[in-house]
Amino acid sequence: MLTIAAALSAFAGIQLAQAAGPFSALAADGKGHFGYAVAYPTEAAARDAALKDCGNPGCKIAAAGRENGSDVERVAKLALARVG
């Protein structure tokens, strides 16, 4: 089974944080804009990166947390299923 970091990197072209860590986040605006952040050292850093990646001022964090079967991983898998 792929981890969220490996799956997002491989299938969606998501860049990992330079200092790898256990935190990931997903941001969306409900209008088609979304952003991911994976393998960040803190949850705050992952949240900031996901919002920046989303690129729309209306984006909000949909899920964030440690990469250990958390809501982030489940949400990201659903998003990847829709994209791919």
Residue pLDDT, tens place only, 3-49: 555 545 544 545 554 557 889 899 999 899 999 898 899 999 999 99
- What CA–CA distance (Å, rounded) separates 9 from 55? 19
Q: Is 21 helix (H, G, I), strand (E, B) or coil?
A: coil
Beta strands in the chain (DSSP E): 23-28, 34-40, 60-66
Characterize 35-62 residue by residue with b for buried, 16 or more Cβ atoms within 10 angstroms of its Cβ, and e for exposed. bbbbbbeebebbbbbbbebbebeebebb
Q: With a threshold of 0.75, does the pTM exceed it?
A: no
